[in-house]
A and B are shown apart, each in its own frame.
Chain A
Amino acid sequence: MKDKPDQETQQSKKPYRKPELKKVALKPDEAVLGYCKTSNTRGPGIGVCDSPVRCYVIGS
């Protein structure tokens, strides 16, 4: 003999929603600390990266 469906269980079940794939925008340079923090911190900011050519983009 089959059990009757539990009405309370049926009511508490959420309706099925098909899984969706969503893209999330990530800024990879920032996410991996691949940039200068500020204009005063160019990576090794111990005064040696004093190049007239900026090494990296500021990403604060």
Chain B
Amino acid sequence: MAVEFSKNQDMAPDRVCVRIADIDFALVSVDPALKIQIQGASQDFLIPEATPHVTIETRWDDLSAVELSGQKLFESGAVWQLYQSDSMYMFSLSSKAMGSVPYEVAHVRKDWTYGEALLHRGYFDMDKSIYPLEYPLDELLMINFLSLGRGAEVHACGVVDSHGNGHLFLGQSRAGKTTLARLWQKEKGITVLSDDRIILRQMDEKIWMYGTPWHGEAGIACSVRTRLTRVYILLQGKTNEVVPLGRTEAATKLFARSFLPFYNPEALEFTLGFFEEVAKAVPCYEFRFLPDRGAVEFIQRLKD
């Protein structure tokens, strides 16, 4: 559902809601000087209003003297670090291109349902609207919220065929997800949910796959869900062929192609169990393929 906002930045909303994988996020500006603008593919996930599962309040701040208190849980080696105190997690996001002060700090409750995102006013043009949950923060919030028994985000291209069946093509970078997504897009009756990120959830004893706003180079992001029918682990090959995978091997390969809170043992345990359920529910294959239309035709002809 598309929600229109005025292009007049004075009219930019102070509260926006998005729905991703049936999880509703509310982003609320509690600072009159901070105007929210949803950008890019996330606009297709906007909803008019919701009783949110996750609420993030946001405001400008001066982070030059911010204290990163608590235990350092994780260092990504790139933009973000994670700390924890007794009651909260804290993300610190920094960019060398901007400076040594974090450009954003987000405090989040340990159940991931409420948080506060503070943006360093010294780095931004405060006259312009902004999206405070800019990657990677929005994805980090989602990954952690999912990991508490709700599902998992995988590195995958998701396709709905003309019969409504969901095909999940998993792969690390350069495996061919975007290439496949572009090939599928040319077929009639096909919907591509994403060329890079799919969320899996178990609802009503079925496994569902959801599109997300976090697309790859093909820019494909669709806010639709479908029932998962098959899983394919992508490998480049000299011909198109599939090799069935056992449950344990499939679950392991799913795990290696997902986005997980590695600092949370309970989350990892849930996710491993969830991937076992996925591997039990649908046929899983290794798919060696050639990057042309033949790969799509091969899958369309495949019978379990």
Binding site for B on A (CB under 8 A): 22, 24-35, 37-39, 41-46, 48-51, 53, 55-56, 58-60
Nearest CB of chain A from residue B89's CB, rounded to whole Å: 15
Q: Are B155 and A30 in contact (CB under 8 A)?
A: yes
A-B contact pairs, 10 of them (CB 8 A): A24-B253, A26-B256, A32-B74, A34-B78, A44-B134, A48-B95, A49-B98, A58-B173, A60-B177, A60-B217
- A interface, over-half SS: loop
Whether the Cβ atoms of A34 and B172 lie closer than 8 Å is: no
Contacts of A55 in B (CB 8 A): 95-97
CA distance A41 to B41 in the complex (A): 12
B298 within 8 A of A: no
CB < 8 Å neighbour of B78 from A25, A43, A48, A60: A43
Answer whether residue B232 sits at the interface, using C-beta atoms and an 8 A cutoff. Answer: no
CA distance A55 to B77 in the complex (A): 12
A20–chain B nearest beta-carbon distance, Å: 10
Decide: A45 and B123 in contact? CB cutoff 8 A.
Answer: no
Contacts of A26 in B (CB 8 A): 256
List the B side residues contacting A32 at CB < 8 Å.
74, 76-78, 259, 262
Closest B residue, CB atoms, query A35: B78
A29 in contact with B217 given A44-B103, A44-B134, A45-B135 (CB within 8 Å): no
Q: Which residues of B contact A29 (CB under 8 A)?
A: 77-78
The answer to whether A49 and B134 touch (CB under 8 A), given A27-B172, A32-B262, A60-B178, is: no
The answer to whether B252 has its CB under 8 Å from any CB of chain A is: yes
Among B98, B124, B216, B262, the residue within 8 A (CB) of A60 is: B216
B253 touches A27 (CB 8 A): no
Bound complex: CA A18 to CA B203 (Å): 35
B57 within 8 A of A: no
Residue of B nearest to A59 (CB): B173
Residues of A within 8 A of B44 (CB): none
Shortest B258–chain A CB gap in Å is 8
Please give the distance in Å from A17's CB to the nearest CB on chain B: 11
CA distance A32 to B139 in the complex (A): 10
A29: shortest Cβ distance to chain B, in Å? 7
Chain A residue numbers with a CB within 8 Å of B256 are 24-26
Name the contact of B98 in the complex, choosing from A22, A37, A48, A56 (C-beta under 8 A). Answer: A48
Q: Which of A34, A37, A42 contacts B76 (CB 8 A)?
A: A34
**Are A51 and B259 interface neighbours, CB within 8 A?**
no
Partner of B140, one of A31, A33, A38, A50: A33
The distance from the CB of B268 to the nearest CB of chain A, in whole angstroms, is: 12
Which of chain B's residues have a CB closer than 8 A to the CB of A27? 172-173
Give A36 Cβ to nearest chain B Cβ, in Å. 9
Least CB distance from A45 to B in Å reads: 6
Say whether A37 contacts B214, CB under 8 Å: yes
Q: Considering the chains assembled together, what is the distance between the CA atoms of A12 and B93 in angstroms?
A: 55
Indicate with 1 or 0, residue by residue over B129-154, a CB within 8 angstroms of chain A CB atoms.
Answer: 01100111001100100000000000
